[in-house]
Structure 1
Amino acid sequence: MGFSNEGQVWTVSEFEAYVKTVTKPAWVDSICLHHTGVPSLAQRPSGLTAQHIKNIRYYYETTKKWSSAPHLFIDDDQIFGMCPLTEKGVHAKSFNSRAIGIEVLGNYNEEAPNNGRGLACWTTAFGAVKALVSWAGLKPDATNILFHRDDPKTNKTCPGSKVEKSWVLENLQTSYLDSTNWHGPNGGGPGRFANYA
């Protein structure tokens, strides 16, 4: 049920193909972005692993007594499944009934989202969100790209005080280059955004 996608791992291009095989449920009208906070980028220097995701699931089920979880966890170059996209997740009280929940690795109250590993994680997140908004038939804007901190029932800064909605929306409206053709300074990674025809 609420954790049955745990163990699924995709690149952005694999996730784009995967969502095309999933029937969008009527309740999905938005995407809600989070940061993991703990673990931070510094605490996961090699990104997430399947064991990390199992540990997170155990924490949600056993310690928090949640029946479900956020839908996706994202690191530098991978998208990890948790809650199926067809089921309502647990991630933000006011948005659980309408939004796909995405956790981006890092503590963006302290770590930078727009360079280094932070940018790599957010580049992957933008690819996942673009696939999801296409799947859900949404045009990304402030009404359907939500932050956890937008929830009136929380005092959290999530997805981090250094993450600005205008930056996220701008990057969602820029053409995405996936992991097979990323550009960076001198042609290297991490991923960058570019317009292309």
Structure 2
Amino acid sequence: MTTPPYDNQPPYPPGQPGQYQPQLPPGQPGQYHPQGYNPYGQVGPGSGGYGFGYAPPGQLAGWPIRVGASILDSLIVSIPMIVGVIVSLVVNGDREELGTAGGIAMGAGFLVGFLVWIWNRLIQQGRTGQSFGKKLTGLRIVHAETGQLIGVGSNLGREILAQIFNQLCILNVLWPLWDDKQQTWHDKVVNDIVIKL
């Protein structure tokens, strides 16, 4: 991932104190521009003024592909849970009440599913910007202004907020359909975007 060119770019050309002229014509993504830069590909007046001209390496991810990635993530969490339920039914036989062995099998399945969720959605997604589902669909979570990974800590906050907002109101899931940055509410709070690589 490219970082903003702080070290190899002078703050302004020699002989012109206080002004910096872009080396490429205005409109080239990822370049400095005196009137500001919007990381979504628009350079010019009123385009956001983020200052250091970093462009995330991709386009904003649409709602359908984000839903697809989320479904894939849910599937890998569900597999150990389903296995636990099946084993508990086999061990339990045709008894109406769940026995000790069946309860242990079911509990183990749910515990493994929860651990898979922690590894996938918190650790892996926080370190790489990609959960299992996002990796398969070519998506990545990056900071909206810098294009850098948001890290495990911010990702943890993002996932907690996602669970809270999703339980409170379905609009959180639907918000990217009409949002200009295609963000959910938890994206907005953490200031991240989901891009298609």
User: Same fold by TM-score, threshold 0.5 exceeded?
Assistant: no
TM-score by length of 2: 0.22
**Which structure shows the bigger proportion of residues in helix conformation?**
2
TM-score by length of 1: 0.22
Q: Which has the higher contact order (CA 8 A, sep 6+)?
A: 1
